[in-house]
Amino acid sequence: MKLERARIFPQFLARADGLRLAYRHRPGQGPTIIFLPGYMSDMEGSKALALDAWAAEQGRAMLRLDYAGCGASEGRFEDGTLASWRDDALALIDGLTQGPLLLVGSSMGGWLALLIALARPERIMGLVGIAAAPDFTEWGFTDADKALLATEGRIEEPTPYGDHPYVTTLDFWQSGQAHRLLDDAIAIDCPVRLLQGQCDTDVPWEIALRTADRLRSSDVQALLIKDGDHRLSRDGDIALLIRTVAALLDNR
């Protein structure tokens, strides 16, 4: 029963302001795998669960987490920004883990993984991006979108990934613009693997190549999946993710 309850109910860590962040931390052999969800996603997505199941089988340490206002964490989604969600992840990483880390970030989580690697360079032994979307506040918004954000303070759009509208606030957009990475060299030296579908309608596959070019590391690979979509959650996509993570862990 205790194991079942641990599986069902997440644990929580309080931020400095008292707001509680939800997480699931699996102890085991390091480096600790950190899964960073995408925008309007959470730690219970199919890729996170599949990677966690593999980590359990292998006796690997893993931390899944929800940013404030997402999933099981407290707070309002609309109050979150790129910087605040980066800081949420850092609070959980610093408070719950020790030693080297392997970051795995999906979509916006890939952008956050890059920011976290810049913030904790001494701890990051590898990074995997799944349709990583650095700078999407720049290339993902039209001039009309930006004008609407300036006048209305938010944009609401339908999304095929859930029942709730896709909400972007002016605060989030401004935070993203303040943390753009692709205009200059990205001072990350660890091995990086970028998994990117070429049928992704949300993140152009060229972003993976541009990110690879900007990274300072000499050990960078962009893996293009010709028929892959944005989610990369098919069985074959998840198998590729696990092989990629396993190879980085084995080669450390």
**175: Cβ contacts below 8 Å, ≥ 6 apart:** 81, 82, 83, 84
Nearest alpha-carbon partner for 100 in 70, 84, 120:
120
Whole-Å CA distances, 2 to 6, 24, 26:
6, 15, 15
Q: Is 179 a catalytic residue?
A: no
**172: Cβ contacts below 8 Å, ≥ 6 apart:** 80, 81, 82, 137
**130: Cβ contacts below 8 Å, ≥ 6 apart:** 47, 104, 105, 106, 107, 109, 110, 195, 232, 241
C-alpha of 126 from chain center:
14
Which of these is catalytic: 25, 52, 230, 237? 230
Which of these is catalytic: 73, 84, 106, 107? 107
Which of these is catalytic: 135, 171, 200, 202? 200
Q: Is 230 a catalytic residue?
A: yes
Q: b/e per residue, 15-37, with b = 16+ CB within 10 A?
A: beeebbbbbbbbeeebbbbbbbb
**Per-residue tokens: 48:** 């996170």
- The secondary element (H helix, E strand) that includes residue 138 is helix 136-139
Q: Is 135 a catalytic residue?
A: no
d(CA 48, CA 10): 14
Q: Which residues are annotated as catalytic?
A: 107, 200, 230
